[in-house]
Amino acid sequence: MKFLQIILICFTFAFSSLAQDSFIDKMNEAKKTTKEELGDLKFDGSKSTYFQVREEVSYKEVEVAIFLRKNYHLFFNGNPTSAKVTVRIYDKPANNPNRIMLWEVKNISGKQKSVSVEELKKMYAYYVENVDNLRSIFVDYEIQKGKPERGGVVMVLGY
């Protein structure tokens, strides 16, 4: 019986490696598709955010330095996730209570969305006088609770 248990554990481990590799392939495929969406824009980087759907709401944050190029365009691909994920872009990090939300997509799952820094600055101009002080933006992913599973969102930068 003990032998069977050991084999079962080993099998689960081997199977989860297979599942992990196929999920990475899914994320890489999403990145490839999103890069194709750039059109005339030049690719300038990407960030694949991996998460585990949990029984409670969880968050991930990615900072993007926007001062390096004149007008970044951000492309999001939520195809690799079936969980409900809200994407929000802020001017400041999550620990700052005075931060301003500049953009939101309620559920990116199975969708592709994009926004430019110019659009974000237009929104920012409603709140502050000098929009040029916006040097970094903070992309927050709010992962809704659900049945435990792997998920991910790909963000691609173009200019």
Partner 1 sequence: MKNITKIFVALLTTGIIYSCNNEEVKSEEDTTKKKTGLIDIDTTDAFTSDEFEFILPRPFALAASFEEAGMTYDETRMNSLENLDSYKTEGKQILNFGVYSTDLVYNIINEQPQYSIKYFNGLKTLADRIGMGRIFTEDELALKIEKNIADKDKMEDLLVDVHEASQEYLQNNQLRFLSIIQFAGAWTEGMYLASFDFEKKDQNVISNKIVDHMTLLNNTIKGIKLYEDRDEDLQKVLDGLIDIQSAYNNYESVKSAEGMPKLTSDEINTFKNKIHEVRSLIIS
- Contact positions vs partner 1 (CB under 8 A): 3-4, 7-8, 10-11, 13-15, 17-18, 20-21, 23-24, 28, 42-52, 59-65, 67-69, 93-94, 130, 133, 135-136, 150, 155, 157
Q: How far is the CB of 18 from partner 1 (least distance, A)?
A: 6
Q: Which CB sits closer to partner 1, 24 or 100?
A: 24
- Taking the complex as a whole, how short is the minimal distance between the CB of residue 46 and partner 1, in angstroms? 8
- Least separation in angstroms between residue 23's CB and partner 1 is 8
Please report how close the Cβ of residue 138 comes to partner 1 at its closest, in angstroms. Answer: 9
* Residue 100 backbone class (left: φ over 0; alpha: ψ -120 to 50; beta: rest): beta
Nearest-CA neighbor of 63 among 159, 156, 140, 154?
Answer: 140
The residue type of 26 is K
Q: Which tokens go with 41?
A: 């824009």
Which helix (H) or strand (E) segment is 13 a member of? helix 2-36
d(CA 109, CA 29): 15
79 SS3 class: coil
Q: Which residue, 25 or 104, has its beta carbon nearer to partner 1?
A: 25
